[in-house]
Structure 1
Amino acid sequence: MTSTIQQQHSPTELFAHALRYENRADPYPAYEQLLQQPVVQMADGSWLATGHREISLLLRDPRISADRLNPQQQPIRKSLLMEDPPRHDQLRQAVTQQFIPRIMGMRDHIDALVTELLDAHTSEQPGQLDVVADLAYPLPVTVICELLGVPREDERLFGSLARRLTRGLDPVDTQTEKEIHELQQARAELVEYLEGLIARHNADGGSDLLAGLMNGQSPDGPMDAIDLRVTLGLLLIAGHETTVNLIANGTLALLRHPDLLARLRTDPDLATPLVEEVLRYDPPVQMSGRSALADIDIAGTTIPKGSRIRLLLASGNRDPRRFTDPDRFLPDRADNAHLGFGGGIHYCIGATLARAEAQIALTALARRLDSPRLAADPPPYRENAILRGPERLPVTFERLLRDPRGK
């Protein structure tokens, strides 16, 4: 625990400390202090939930709204992430019936994409790989763009927009005026791009996910143009940004635990519990927001109706009241009920796909990298506090082996 944290007393100061960029590589000491009060009011009147039990209860409480802005007003269309029942259920059902069938049976294709990406760097000589730029980013971008029918030549443009837009998820008081302006510009550019993509699909048809959303049958009928655009934007951005961090954070954990890297190299079955432990130990989404639709009694206090609530998922994942040795990375951990994909009706719709991509990517890195080492520890991190992960993850190696399976 640093002396800076020891000198701070209020939850507001601790939370601000955790959000500062200079602490992006390790916000967990501040989270440990915040866990002393599992639900607490902040100086701005909002509420912060840090405990695993309390977050789990709030995620499933029907008195909580996913609209963290103003749940009493509905002036604009929102994505299903910020909608409540019954509208949330209608949108989620429409997406699920098109999305889930298309991702089933994709493991072989994901495996082939990972092989292709690593083959581009295969070397018998010592070298370096940026795990973010060379694998963790292009893999999920390619997968979600293929699913949605985004042309391959548009992937770079879309990726740039997504990176700019995700900064908008962080608290406004952490953003500069320049960043806010750039965010507004990026939103306008995304709307323009999506409208063009939808128009092309209207003309050409197709069998991809976007075509399915446009033409799919559901009890509530096909999505209209606005819902389609909002949903498509959500799937494009959420469909890859969290997975980038999941793969990068998992690689970081493996390289800091060489014994586990060696185990994964010879035991690919370890990938499943290992990814679950990454989701607990260093989750790609650190927090989420909600609003109270009624007074809520919890943890010895009352959250008043209309209050904004921050759910600090990453601190709940390190709650010693729920997990033994919470600060240790233990893939063999039993009953790993982490909050990495949220919970309740808003549980991540792409969790199955993200898990598959991370399991396959981490197994391939373990199998093919000979004597890998972090070129910088900690690596440089992204600006984002909520979608937290390395900006770059340079890894040196003695050799980058060809796929031993002969692919």
Structure 2
Amino acid sequence: MTQDILREIIDYSNRADPYPLYEELRKTPVFHNGNGGPYVVSTYYEIQSLLHDPRISSDARNLKAAGDDPLGRSEEEGTTLPPSFLKLDPPDHDRLRRMTNRPFGPPHSPHRVHDMLGELGGLVSGLIEGIATTGNLDRIDLVDQFAYPFPVSVICRLLGVPREDEPRFHVWAETLAASLDPDPDADPAQHGKGAVDARMELGMYLAGLVEERRKDPGDDMLSQLATADGPDGSMTTMEVLSTSALLLIAGHETTVNLITNGMLTLLRHPEVLQRLREDPSLSVPIVEELLRYEPPVQLLPQRSTLSEIEVAGVTLPKGASLWLVLASGNRDPKRFENPDRFDPDRRDIQHLGLGSGIHSCFGAPLARQEAQLALSELARRLENPRLLEDPPPYRKNAVLRGPRHLPVACDAIRP
């Protein structure tokens, strides 16, 4: 294995198919280049164990030095918002996640996601009708015309963010998503500065909405986060802002990739697409297999060790930078038979596509429902769909991996 394999994984030229690199990486389950860089874990059982290990921190302040990462990552100081609960450890993580979950899911809001099903169906139908009315079925961009606007509309409705403000927060969201990516060629100060500015502008925008909701609450999550006072008390204004920023961005960025990766995979496997067209209930195992086979989050590069840990015979020192390559673990042949085969009939798909442990994907129930509905309706209504570019152009992001555009054509759109 070359010492530059991490740079190869981040290199955009490998974005369309990073899986051969992951296969090479798994030959050394815990890879370390020996130059003070991150420890990279790529095998299923080791990743699963570490995701549940309380000695692993998500708080970047626990890294022993910002310069540990040879790819130029550093934790920016002076951000205007505190870290979201995604970047915190217990007990702060647990408190904020509990408070955020009260208006979102069981046990306090058990029907929130389920009750949105009718609205989700209306959004999907409207977007597909919009494609039909353009009259141009020879070139459809499934990202711009469907996979992006659908989850954005959903998260705006859920949070209470005006849908017409999407052009404003779209720029901030893309900048913040890009900041997750280790960039071996960027100037660290400039690489981080854009994220700091975007986070500040997003925080100021959300602060205005929070003030409005406190004066006139609605049935949206932003109103409930801003006004709730439960067993854990109430969130501070800054906690409301950091939490709502997390939900706004994470609530659509990963789902866009899940839907787009899903349609790309189905178009490459027309026999599965035909089965889904005939049986919409197949969308459930298809989405689970997609989360294993083409996960929207490929790696977690922001972990560190709180104490010395031994993993697969390698000792990780306290304060070490740790990368968990979820997409590699999902194709570990020691865990999955024929891991490079897309097979929705697998009986056991305990994937890492939505994480695991205390930081497992907060919005997983909604993301699953959106993807199942989107893929089943696209399969049913697009007649003879076919790829126009394979591979399609990908987003630059190696962490949140997915096509930037997905050009397809079809003969007609069924009613």
- TM-score interval, smaller chain: over 0.9
Aligned to 1:162: 173
1:314 Cα deviation from its structure 2 partner:
0.4
Aligned to 2:22: 31
1:251-274 per-position Cα deviation (integer Å, ceiling 9, x unaligned): 000000000010000011110010
Give the aligned residue type for 2:101. T
Whether the aligned pair in 2 keeps the contact of 1:122 and 1:401 (CA below 8 Å) is no
Aligned to 2:235: 223
1: CA distance, partners of 2:232 / 2:139:
52
Give the aligned residue type for 1:261. L
Structure 2's unaligned 5+ residue stretches are 66-76
1:218 Cα deviation from its structure 2 partner:
2.1
The structure 2 residue matched to 1:50, chosen from 42, 45, 51, is: 42
2: CA distance, partners of 1:180 / 1:172:
11
1:98 Cα deviation from its structure 2 partner:
1.1
1:333-359 per-position Cα deviation (integer Å, ceiling 9, x unaligned): 121111000000111110000000000
2: CA distance, partners of 1:45 / 1:154:
40
Whether the aligned pair in 2 keeps the contact of 1:19 and 1:385 (CA below 8 Å) is yes
Structure 1's unaligned 5+ residue stretches are 1-8, 403-407
2: CA distance, partners of 1:231 / 1:35:
35
How many correspondences in the alignment? 393
- 1:117 matched to 2:130? The reply is no
**SS in structure 2 of the partner of residue 122 of structure 1:** helix
Aligned to 1:3: none
- 1:147 matched to 2:158? The reply is yes
Aligned to 1:339: 352
Whether the aligned pair in 1 keeps the contact of 2:222 and 2:244 (CA below 8 Å) is yes
**Pair 159,85 (structure 1): closer, same or farther in 2 beyond 3 Å:** same
**Pair 125,344 (structure 1): closer, same or farther in 2 beyond 3 Å:** closer
Aligned to 1:61: 53
Aligned to 2:373: 360
- 1:40 matched to 2:51? The reply is no
Give the aligned residue type for 1:273. P
**Pair 149,299 (structure 1): closer, same or farther in 2 beyond 3 Å:** same
1:122 Cα deviation from its structure 2 partner:
1.7
Whether the aligned pair in 2 keeps the contact of 1:285 and 1:313 (CA below 8 Å) is yes
**SS in structure 2 of the partner of residue 318 of structure 1:** coil
Give the aligned residue type for 1:384. N
* TM-score normalised according to structure 2 size: 0.91
1:285-306 per-position Cα deviation (integer Å, ceiling 9, x unaligned): 0011311001111201111111
2: CA distance, partners of 1:303 / 1:179:
28
- 1:376 matched to 2:389? The reply is yes
* TM-score normalised according to structure 1 size: 0.92
- 1:256 matched to 2:268? The reply is yes
Whether the aligned pair in 1 keeps the contact of 2:39 and 2:322 (CA below 8 Å) is yes
Aligned to 1:106: 116
1:164 Cα deviation from its structure 2 partner:
1.8
Aligned to 1:15: 6
**Pair 218,72 (structure 1): closer, same or farther in 2 beyond 3 Å:** farther
After the TM superposition, which of the residue ranges 184-193 and 261-270 deviates more from structure 2?
Answer: 184-193
**Pair 207,122 (structure 1): closer, same or farther in 2 beyond 3 Å:** same
1:203 Cα deviation from its structure 2 partner:
2.5
Whether the aligned pair in 1 keeps the contact of 2:10 and 2:183 (CA below 8 Å) is no
1:52-85 per-position Cα deviation (integer Å, ceiling 9, x unaligned): 0000000000111111342689997311111111
1:199-236 per-position Cα deviation (integer Å, ceiling 9, x unaligned): 22222222210111112232221100110110010000
Whether the aligned pair in 1 keeps the contact of 2:64 and 2:320 (CA below 8 Å) is no
2: CA distance, partners of 1:90 / 1:125:
50
1: CA distance, partners of 2:160 / 2:37:
44
The structure 1 residue matched to 2:207, chosen from 191, 195, 206, is: 195
1:159 Cα deviation from its structure 2 partner:
2.0
Aligned to 2:294: 282
Aligned to 1:238: 250
1:397 Cα deviation from its structure 2 partner:
0.7
Whether the aligned pair in 2 keeps the contact of 1:141 and 1:159 (CA below 8 Å) is no
1:135 Cα deviation from its structure 2 partner:
1.0
**Pair 179,77 (structure 1): closer, same or farther in 2 beyond 3 Å:** closer
1:180 Cα deviation from its structure 2 partner:
4.0
After the TM superposition, which of the residue ranges 321-330 and 194-203 deviates more from structure 2?
Answer: 194-203
2: CA distance, partners of 1:214 / 1:304:
41
2: CA distance, partners of 1:188 / 1:223:
19
**Pair 244,125 (structure 1): closer, same or farther in 2 beyond 3 Å:** closer
- Residue identity (%): 49
Give the aligned residue type for 2:127. L
2: CA distance, partners of 1:267 / 1:218:
43
- CA-based RMSD of the aligned residues comes to 1.9
Aligned to 2:144: 133
1:186 Cα deviation from its structure 2 partner:
1.6
1:361 Cα deviation from its structure 2 partner:
0.3
